[in-house]
Structure 1
Amino acid sequence: MLYEMRTYRLKTGATPAYVKLVEEEGIAIQKSHLGQLVGYFTSEIGPLNEIVHIWAYASLDDRVARRARLAADPAWQAFGPKIQALIEVMENKILLPTSFSPLP
């Protein structure tokens, strides 16, 4: 099992619009391809205007296959520009749990 943590820094004031778009359109598309959503968060203290979402995958190959299916989906292709206009910086990390890490 591995985890992908995606952090997006949004334009100032864009968090409500981003969350609304994902809630109403994007998350259903993502879940249909990516599978296990661990969490989707907004920042409150520290760097503001940040979105963090974490997805679980069986392996890197599983992640690559799932992300490719998402990228090929016409609904995702239509949705992407809506949120991309709100994002300033994107960061992606692959996290491997330690043997003593609690798993969802």
Structure 2
Amino acid sequence: MATSRHTSVWCKGQMLYRYSVNLHQLTRRFSESSDKGWFRSLFVHKVDARKDAHSNLLSKKETSNLYKIQLHLWRYRGGYPALTECLKKLNHNKEYLEFRKERAKMLVSRRNQLLLEFSFWNEPLPRPGPSIYEMRTYNLKPGTMIEWGNRWARAIRYRQENNEAVGGFFSQIGDLYVVHHLWAYESLQSRKETRNSAWQKEGWDANVYYTVPLIRSMESRIMIPTTSSPLQ
């Protein structure tokens, strides 16, 4: 379809990926050194009382990037004003409006989310590739976002050696208390080896141990970059 070519001219939204294949991760394992019994897994560390919204405490302040997931991941440099400007331009473009009319005839359902970046994650930067990307989505229990952020601010260092950490986002509009972690790998085999190597590092198992009780459900998607994406 020609939409990505046109919208890249009309607005600041930049399409980074499209979904390709769905994988479901149904199991997680813990190291024996951290597994002290099922009863302990019901509890997490006490955290300080929150004094601000998690959107202010956890997101990057210097970039003001806003992201939208719509079977694609879009970036709007400049946050909500950039998104508003983009929508205004598209709503006055006859070719795009005609495309939307025809597209609506093929859709059964659709969902959008607006996302902010975690302050401790990398911002998605251009990559030469070729790479595959994994989007791991976590639906958290309400009220646990700060604890999740506290844990992952420490844990991210265990996943930086192979430059696999691309970006981390949390929802602001749409389904709430949803987290997306985006990773890059050379191949599915590389993904397996990289993920297994994390378990050999002291401290990674503890991060998994204390974040699992915060999760209501999780999903994994393998994504292929579009030809126009700066991340290949």
* Structure 2 gap segments, 5+ residues each: 1-130
Larger Rg: 2
- Name the counterpart of 1:52: 180
TM-score by length of structure 1 reads 0.88
In 2, Cα distance between equivalents of 1:78 and 1:16: 17
2:136 is aligned with 1:6? yes
Aligned positions of 1:4-83 closer than 5 A: 4-23=134-153, 25-32=154-161, 35-83=163-211
Kindly tell me the number of residue pairs found equivalent between the two proteins: 102
**DSSP 3-state at the match of 1:54:** strand
Identity fraction in percent? 36
Question: Cα offset for 1:73?
Answer: 2.9
1:31 deviates by: 2.0
Q: Which runs of 4+ in 1 moved over 2 A?
A: 71-74, 98-102
Q: Distance in 1 between matches of 2:155 and 2:198?
A: 11
Superposed displacement of residue 38, structure 1:
1.4
Taking only aligned residues, the RMSD between alpha carbons, in angstroms, comes to 1.6
Shift of 1:54: 0.3
AA at the equivalent of 1:18: W
Q: Aligned partners of 2:202 and 2:157: how far apart in 1?
A: 13
Q: Which runs of 5+ in 1 are unaligned?
A: none
Equivalent residue number for residue 99 of structure 2: none
Cα distance between partner residues in 2 of 1:16 and 1:29: 20
**Which residue of structure 2 aligns with residue 88 of structure 1?**
216
- Structure 1 CA distance for aligned equivalents of residues 227 and 171 of structure 2: 28
2:199 counterpart SS class:
helix
Partner residue of 2:109?
Answer: none
Identify which of structures 1 and 2 has the higher relative contact order when contacts are C-alpha pairs closer than 8 Å and 6+ apart. 1
> Normalized per residue, which structure has more strand?
1
Q: Which amino acid aligns with 1:89?
A: S
Residue deviations 1:34-83 (CA, integer Å, cap 9, x gap): 53321101110000001111011111111111011113333211221111
